[in-house]
Structure 1
Amino acid sequence: MAMESCTMTKKLEVHFILIPLMSAGHVLPIVDLAKLLGRRNNVKVTIMTTPVNAVRVGANIDREIQCCGSSISVQPFRFPSVEAGLPEGCESSEAVPCPDLMYNFAKATTMLQKPVEEALEKIVIPTIPTCFILDKNLPFLFDVAKKFKVPIIISDALNCFSLLCNHNLFHSKVYENVSESESFVVPGLPHRIVFKKYQLQEYFSMNVGEFNVLREKVWQNEGEAFGVLVNSFQELEEEYVKEFTRLTGHKVYCVGPLSLVNKEHKDKAQRGKLDSKEEEEEGEYLRWLDSWPATSVIFANLGSLTFVPPGQVMEIILGLEASKRPFIWVLIMRDAHKRKELNKLLKEDGVEERVKGRGLIIRGWVPQILILSHTAIGAFLTHCGWNSTLEGITSGVPLITFPLTAEQFYNEKVAVQLLETGVRVGVEKAMHFEVEDKSGIQVRREKVKEAIEKVMGEEDEESKRIRERAGNYREKANKAMEKGGSSYLNLSLMIEDIKQHFRRRVEDDDSKSEP
């Protein structure tokens, strides 16, 4: 780590308060952002989150402070789990034990205003807050931030392609006049993008109390924001950055890929780690990867939030087995009943024993960016959450796309259609929380094997082109984050814009106080 990036001065001119949604896909990039901001001169950062999440990010932040002397602190606030009908200590979306309780989690986020106000009062601030960076999905906190009369920059775990799709869908209402399975074109995009209604983000398909309230508040706040922070880089989706900026009039700051702030092995290994015992397991994974040739291993991880039916999980594992290639399969089954059902299916089939040595099945968290950066990884079978998609792109690894919910079908379009660095497995219908059992098995093992061959076939010319394009985007991503790169400059611009806004406010206040 360059000493220049860690040089600090005593004067703190700008104080960013960062409040992410209580979900790993939102918390982790905000921690990465805090580290980037904290390495800039005259910048102070406070991350506000729940006690459980504060512990989760604590080691990473402590290491950053020790290494760079950055002015970063973590301020916890109480999460109303019990009041919302959640188990005690359930403070993140990953901790929600079953799909039905996701509505309770949404309800809890609408009850955060008082706990956050109480936590803000405890913060010892050498300078008053000069900017709030608020997660778009915590719309009821905007009223808290407005009391300070400072700029609010909204963040979300989305790219500009998804933001523009949602903007145009919301204003055109084109999805309202089609059936669930009917294809339609999203209007006003630089490319011809076709979706089916049941592939859209939940905003456009769910009609449930708390989600409806949240949706309306989100759209209301979006128009009032000072700017939008995006974990992407301009070279990845330049046309969509320009069009989203033009249509909304927002200042759009593409400052990613944020995960690239983690350069050292320890930083990559600690990112998102919950338990110190995982360090021994991490060493085992890396030693196992070291035993395989370059670009020979498939890494499969469908994320920590989704509830995939056990039968579909079996088809994926059997497809990996049929590929005859080495693989790591991260198996997270959150519902206890379905976990028991899956374990029964695995035992009856005997697949774990058959793939022993060639297949590594991991039940629980893994250091994903550390694994993806290993030279043995040749393909990434992913649910297409934006963090995972971007981490795959950043690592130069071709993607095998298996979208499940949220905006994941949008990200599949980015990887497969726009960048041409991925191949679809063939999922057609989203598995939203309230309908996941109805989705059943959508993709059989033959399709999984076929998709693997399309990105890893040594003799296939299109496979070679996919791998070459993936490598090119890895280079572009790294250049964007270097000093003088597009994301580096955008972060500088955001800091300067906030400084200028704050100075104008001080000048206005001074002029009003003059007799």
Structure 2
Amino acid sequence: MGGATKSILIVPFFGQGHLFPCAELCKHISSYNCNSIFIIPSHLSSSIPSDLHHHPSIEVVRIESSAETPPPDATHGDWPAPGPHHHHQLGQGIESFLSRRFENAQPAFVVMDVMMNWSKHIFKKANIPIVSFFTSGACATAMEYAAWKAHVDDIGPDPARMLPGLPESMALSYSDTRRRDRRRHELGGGRGRGRGRGRGGKGSDGTNLGPPRLGQHTRWMDETEGSTALLINTCDGLESPLLKYLTVQAEMPVFGVGPLLPGTFWKSIGSVVHDRDSRPGRETNYTEDEVIQWLDSKPGSSVIYVSFGSEVGPSMEEYDELAEALVATEKSFVWVIQPGAGRPGPPASLFGERAMSDSKKGGYEPCGLEERVGNRGLIIKGWAPQLSILSHPSTGGFLSHCGWNSTMEAIACGTPILAWPIRGDQFYNAKLVVKYHHVGHMVPGIDDPLEMVKKINIIQGINLLMDDGEVHYRATALRGIFDGGYPSSSAASIKALVELIS
């Protein structure tokens, strides 16, 4: 692009679903005569993809921090970020770094994860333009705003409520308006207990909803106030009408810059992706080669992959129902069980290695399951090579919470999804998968937030997904939008962003 090399700051939120996309964004921005400076708390150093450290145009800056354990009542709502002391310490570290490094020349701009909104004042004080980054997709952001703008509060069982400017398939249903975090009834989150720190808001009784209560002012409007532009981890091929809607409504440029998947994925399209090359390995009971070898022994599209990611999952009782369902289906499966699975509270990965070690105590254990299913099941405890599994031809379906990273990875690999959303934007992501793209199904019975998901629901859902030839065909067809590699529309967006700020 010519001219002097620009410095761009990237500030991610904690957790893999935020760190990984921000790391990939660093690489893409660095392609445009820019040096990317990735600012992270020191306790998250081990979570950074190893190839980031060797990139000639990327600098990883570790700010000393001591993540706090959240207060006891934080388990009764959306888990919070580390507390005020951590924010203060990290904020001081960022300010000190800025004053040392940029005494004479300011960085061109900072890309700030919207979940790091608390740090906005630091960059405003330094007169650094702020670009807000959603590591989630456009769907949740657009629907939250459209529902607020349409003054939607509650609707009856029939018909669904159209939202002006959005696709007809994304109309709000009765269940959308009454959906809550599916864990709340198990956690005892009654009147007034919610903390309201996540993407969701509070209902009239003070409890946190999965999505914000429809018609309620949306948090992202406050989080992005004063920003120069918005970045969203999506592309035209996945969410074009939703991106266009946000571009009209946001009153600032909106750029789709995703999917922010590892470079190894784009180089391996059409074959099995090797996760170990781009993501830091964590403790696990199976190596990536052992997982691929097991999948190699199974027929094509015969394996259901089950994983709820590193941050949320079902209750202990629902895990028991899932285990029994996997026995009863008689289908081959890979089941990833994270440390601390089934326990309330924030993911241990937020709080460093000691917390990760502590999280192994009291998590869900599928006692006797391996003996009951034999070689039909592979139970992974800890880290799993998700892209390797999703891209393998033996994998025929993905039982997922519909976190945005998992959703994009499944779509990019042509793997249909059985949606089991737990909270926040996962409900909207599931709607995008099932209602808009038609590349998956919902777990039957999921619409009632106060009812536990039972064995029979899971069996019905797995059989429906795995036996639906049409949904498999559509998933394969949708994958085709990535045959050319990283989307040209997203590459053009990053270029336009750098030019805009310059």
- With the shorter chain as reference, the TM-score category is 0.7 to 0.9
Partner of 2:429: 411
Deviation at 1:76, TM superposition (A): 1.3
Partner of residue 139, structure 2: 161
User: Would the aligned equivalents of 2:53 and 2:60 in 1 still touch at CA under 8 Å?
Assistant: no
Matching of residue 472 in structure 1 with residue 477 in structure 2: yes
> Is 1:453 aligned to residue 463 of structure 2?
yes
Secondary structure of residue in 1 paired with 2:255: strand
- Counterpart Cα distance in 1 of 2:102 and 2:244: 39
User: What SS does the aligned partner of 1:479 have?
Assistant: coil
Contact 1:169 1:186 in 2 (8 A): no
1:306-356 per-residue CA deviation (whole Å, 9 max, x = no partner) reads 25211101212222222221110001252697864743xx33xx3321112
Report the CA distance shift for 1:427/1:114 in structure 2 as closer, same or farther (over 3 A).
farther
1:22 aligned partner = 14
Structure 1 residues 78 and 170 mapped into 2: Cα distance closer, same or farther (>3 Å)?
A: farther
Is structure 2 residue 491 aligned with structure 1 residue 488? yes
- The residue number in structure 1 matching 2:98 is 120
Unmatched segments (≥5 aa) in structure 1: 1-7, 88-95, 432-438, 458-462, 500-515
Contact 1:16 1:44 survives alignment (8 Å): yes
Candidates 144, 161, 167, aligned match of 1:185: 161
Contact 1:273–1:367 (CA under 8 A) maintained in structure 2: no
Give how far 1:98 is off. Answer: 5.8
1:4-62 deviation line (CA, Å, top 9, x unaligned): xxxx99x7532211001112111111111112222x14111011111122232151313
Structure 2 unaligned spans of 5+: 182-197, 345-360
Aligned partner letter, 2:240: E
1:199 touches 1:409 (CA, 8 Å); kept in 2?
no
Task: Measure how far apart 1:110 and its partner are.
Answer: 4.9
Which of 130, 137, 143 pairs up with 1:152? 130
- 2:96 matched to 1:73? no
From 404, 408, 433, the equivalent of 1:386 is: 404
AA in 2 matched with 1:237: E
Shift of 1:149: 2.5
Alpha-carbon spacing, 1:455–1:154, altered in 2? closer, same or farther (3 Å) = same
Q: Which amino acid aligns with 1:48?
A: I
Q: Secondary structure at the match of 1:361?
A: strand
Contact in 1 for aligned 2:230/2:252 (Cα 8 Å): yes
Aligned equivalent of 2:299: 293
- Number of the residue aligned with 2:231: 229
What amino acid sits opposite 2:41 in the alignment? Answer: T
TM-score (norm 1): 0.78
Q: Which residue of 1 aligns with 2:249?
A: 247
Give the distance between the partners of 2:39 and 2:476, measured in 1 at CA: 36
The CA deviation at 1:357 is 0.5
**3-state SS in 2 of match to 1:322:** helix
Where 1:49 maps in the other structure, the secondary structure is strand
The residue number in structure 2 matching 1:372 is 390
Q: Structure 2 vs 1, CA of residues 248 and 352 (structure 1 numbering), >3 Å: closer, same or farther?
A: same
> 1:274, CA displacement in angstroms?
4.5
Letter in 1 for 2:371: E
The TM-score, its normalising length taken from structure 2, stands at: 0.80
**Larger Rg computed on CA atoms:** 1
Distance across 2 between alignment mates of 1:279 and 1:60: 24
1:446 Cα deviation (Å)? 2.0
Q: SS at the partner of 1:235?
A: helix
**Would the alpha carbon gap of residues 474 and 309 (structure 1) be closer, same or farther in structure 2, given more than 3 Å must change?**
same
Matched residue SS, 1:44: strand
Distance 1:26 1:331 in 2: 20
With 18-27 and 188-197 compared, the bigger mean Cα shift is at: 188-197
> How far apart are the structure 2 equivalents of 1:100 and 1:190?
31
> Is residue 196 from structure 1 mapped to residue 201 from structure 2 by the alignment?
no
The answer to whether the aligner puts 1:444 opposite 2:444 as a matched pair is no
Q: How many residues are treated as equivalent by the alignment?
A: 451
2:414 to 396, 400, 406: 396
Give 2:82's aligned residue: 105
Counterpart in the other structure of 1:50: 41
Deviations along 1:205-261, whole A, 9 cap, x unmatched? 36589xx9xx99853342321111111110212111111111122211111111053
Select the structure with the greater relative contact order (CA < 8 A; seq sep ≥ 6): 2
Give the root-mean-square deviation of aligned CA atoms.
Answer: 3.4
Instruction: Decide whether the 8 Å contact of 1:480 with 1:486 is kept in 2.
Output: no
Preserved contact between residue 303 and residue 334 of structure 2 (Cα < 8 Å):
yes
Q: 1:169 to 1:333 in 2, by over 3 A?
A: farther
Change beyond 3 A, Cα 1:477–1:162? farther
Other-structure match for 1:283:
289
Q: How far, CA to CA, are the matches of 1:318 and 1:279 in structure 2?
A: 22
Aligned amino acid, residue 13 of structure 1: T
1:134 Cα deviation from its structure 2 partner: 0.3
Which moved further from structure 2: 196-205 or 386-395? 196-205
Give the CA deviation at 1:165: 1.1
Residue deviations 1:113-167, cap 9 Å, x none? 3232123335479953101100111112111112332331111222111111122
Match of 1:354 among 372, 382, 389: 372
Question: SS where residue 484 of structure 2 aligns?
Answer: helix
CA shift in 2, pair 1:151/1:361, >3 Å:
same
1:505 alignment partner in structure 2: none
**Deviations for 1:395-426, whole angstroms, at most 9, x for unmatched residues?**
11000101011211100100000000011103
2:275 aligned with 1:268: yes
